[in-house]
A = this chain, B = another copy of it.
Amino acid sequence: MAVRVQREDFDVGAEMAAFCAGDTSVGAVASFVGLVRADKTAEGSGAVSAMTLEHYPGMTERQLEAIEADARERWPLHDVLVVHRYGRMEPGERIVLVLTASSHRQAAFDACAFLMDWLKTKAPFWKLEETPNGGRWVDARESDDAAAARWGGDEG
Whether B26 lies near A37 (C-beta < 8 A) is yes
A12 within 8 A of B: yes
- The answer, among B35, B113, B147, for a CB contact under 8 Å with A27, is B35
A66 within 8 A of B: no
Copies of this subunit: 2
Q: Give the bracket for the number of chain A residues in contact with chain B.
A: 35 or more
A106 within 8 A of B: yes
Whether A32 lies near B105 (C-beta < 8 A) is yes
Cα–Cα distance between A35 and B33 once the two chains are bound (Å): 20
Whether B16 lies near A37 (C-beta < 8 A) is no
A29 within 8 A of B: yes
Whether B16 lies near A14 (C-beta < 8 A) is no
CB distance from A80 to the nearest CB of B (A): 15
Cα–Cα distance between A38 and B27 once the two chains are bound (Å): 9
A109 — which chain B residues lie within 8 A by C-beta?
32, 109, 112-113, 116
Instruction: List 13 additional A-B contacts (Cβ < 8 Å) besides A12-B17, A25-B39, A39-B103.
Output: A12-B13, A12-B16, A13-B14, A24-B36, A24-B37, A25-B37, A27-B34, A29-B33, A29-B35, A30-B31, A31-B31, A32-B105, A109-B109
Residues of A within 8 A of B (CB): 11-14, 16-17, 22-40, 91-92, 103, 105-106, 108-109, 112-113, 116, 147
